[in-house]
Amino acid sequence: MDYSFDMDLELCPVCGDTVSGYHYGLLTCESCKGFFKRTVQNNKKYICAENQDCQIDKMQRKRCPFCRFQKCLHVGMRLEAVRADRMRGGRNKFGPMYKRDRALKQQKRALIQSRGLRMQTTSMVLSSNPMECTFSGGQVQSGLSEGEDVTATPHYVHARRASTLAASFSGLAIKWEQRELYAGTSQASFAENCTFSAKPSSPYASLLVPDVSGVPQLILELLRCDLDDLQVRGKINGHLQRLRDGWGSQEKPSTFGLTCLMIDQTLFYVVEWARGCIFFKELKVSDQMKLLHNCWCELLALDFIYRQVQHGKEGSMLLVTGQEVELPAIMADAEPVLNSLVQKGQALVGVFQSLQIDRKEIACFKFLILFNPDVNLLENKSYVENIKERVHGALLEYTLHASPQRVDKFSQLLLCLSDLRAASSLAEDYLCSKHICGEMPCNNLLIEMLYAKHNCL
- For DNA, the binding residues (CB under 7 A) are 1-2, 4, 17, 21-25, 29-32, 34-35, 37-38, 41-42, 44, 61-62, 65, 68, 81-83, 86-92, 94-96, 98
Q: Which is nearer to DNA, 61 or 453 (CB)?
A: 61
Q: Which is nearer to DNA, 85 or 333 (CB)?
A: 85
**CA dist 82 to 16, 144, 229, 303, 304, Å?**
22, 9, 48, 39, 41
Radius of gyration over every alpha carbon of the chain, rounded to an integer in angstroms: 23
Q: How far is the CB of 385 from DNA (least distance, A)?
A: 18
Torsion of CA 311, 316, 318, 321, to 10 degrees: -150
Q: How far is the CB of 149 from DNA (least distance, A)?
A: 17
Q: Which is nearer to DNA, 108 or 435 (CB)?
A: 108
Using DSSP's 3-state secondary structure scheme, residue 316 falls into strand
Instruction: Show the CA angle centred on residue 399, arms to residues 398 and 404, nearest 5°.
Output: 115
Q: Provide CB contacts within 8 A for 404, sequence distance 6+.
A: none
Q: Which is nearer to DNA, 110 or 227 (CB)?
A: 110
Q: Which is nearer to DNA, 34 or 214 (CB)?
A: 34
End-to-end Cα distance, the chain? 43
Q: Which is nearer to DNA, 42 or 51 (CB)?
A: 42
Q: How far is the CB of 88 from DNA (least distance, A)?
A: 4
Q: How far is the CB of 71 from DNA (least distance, A)?
A: 13
Pairing of strands 21-23, 324-326: unpaired
Q: Which is nearer to DNA, 149 or 245 (CB)?
A: 149
Q: Tell me, what amino acid is at 446?
A: L
Q: Which is nearer to DNA, 4 or 250 (CB)?
A: 4
Q: What is the Cα–Cα distance from 348 to 407, expressed in whole angstroms?
A: 20
Q: How far is the CB of 91 from DNA (least distance, A)?
A: 4
Q: How far is the CB of 378 from DNA (least distance, A)?
A: 22
**CA dist 269 to 276, 296, 303, Å?**
10, 11, 11
Pair 218, 207: CB distance under 8 Å: yes
Its sign, for the CA torsion 64, 66, 69, 73, is negative
Q: How far is the CB of 80 from DNA (least distance, A)?
A: 10
Q: Provide CB contacts within 8 A for 67, sequence distance 6+.
A: 48, 50, 52, 53, 54, 56
Q: How far is the CB of 14 from DNA (least distance, A)?
A: 10
Return the percent helix, strand and coil in the chain, to nearest 5. Answer: 60, 5, 35
